Amino acid sequence: MAKKTRYYAVVHGKPSGIFNVWEDGAAPATQGVENAVFKSFTTLEHAEEWYRQNVPPTSRYLSPVYHFETQSVLAGVPHTPIMETLEGISPGRHVVFTISNPENNEPFYVGETLNPERSEARHLGGTSRKRNGIALKVGELQAQGIRPVFNIVERHDSKEAALEGKTRLVKAYVQQGFELVNKTREHREIQELYRAPAVRLDKVIGDAPFDLGPYRYPSRQALKERLEAYLGQVKLGLITHPTATEKLMLLWETMGVHSEVVSFSTTSDQGRPRLLANLVDGTQAEFDYARAINRIP
Report whether 54 contacts 103 (CB < 8 A): no
Beta bridge partners of 269: 272
Residues 6+ away with beta carbon under 8 Å from 94: 112, 113, 114, 155, 156, 157, 158, 159, 161, 162
Q: Would you list the domain boundaries of the chain?
A: 7-67, 94-184, 210-295
Q: How far apart are CA 19 and CA 44, in angstroms?
A: 9
Per-residue model confidence (pLDDT) at position 8: 92
Rounded mean pLDDT for each run of 10 residues along the chain, 297 residues in total: 76 85 88 88 84 74 65 36 34 77 84 83 64 81 86 82 85 82 59 54 57 81 85 87 88 74 85 83 82 72
Q: For residue 107, with 0-12 CB atoms within 10 Å meaning exposed, 13-18 middle and 19 or more buried, which class applies?
A: buried
Say what the pLDDT of residue 86 is: 33
- The pTM of the full predicted model, rounded to 2 decimals, is 0.40
pLDDT at 125: 67
Q: Quick one: which of 100, 49, 62 has its CA closest to 254?
A: 100
Q: Topology of domain 210-295, per CATH?
A: Nuclear Transport Factor 2; Chain: A, (3.10.450)
Nearest-5° Cα angle at 137, 136 to 143:
85
Sign of CA dihedral 198, 204, 210, 214: positive
Q: What is the reported pLDDT for 109?
A: 92
* Paired sense of beta strands 106-113 and 94-101, if any: antiparallel
**Separation of alpha carbons 87 and 81, rounded Å:** 13
**111: which strand partners?**
97
Is there a cis peptide before residue 15, judged by omega within 30 degrees of 0?
yes
Q: Are 165 and 173 a contacting pair, CB within 8 Å?
A: no
Closest CA to 112 of 174, 194, 187, 167: 167
C-alpha of 155 from chain center: 17
Indicate the class that CATH gives domain 94-184: alpha beta
Q: Which residues are paired to 217 by β-bridges?
A: 210
Contact by Cβ (8 Å): 159, 114 = yes
- In this prediction, residue 108 carries a pLDDT of 92
Burial degree of 189 (CB within 10 A; 0-12, 13-18, 19+)? exposed
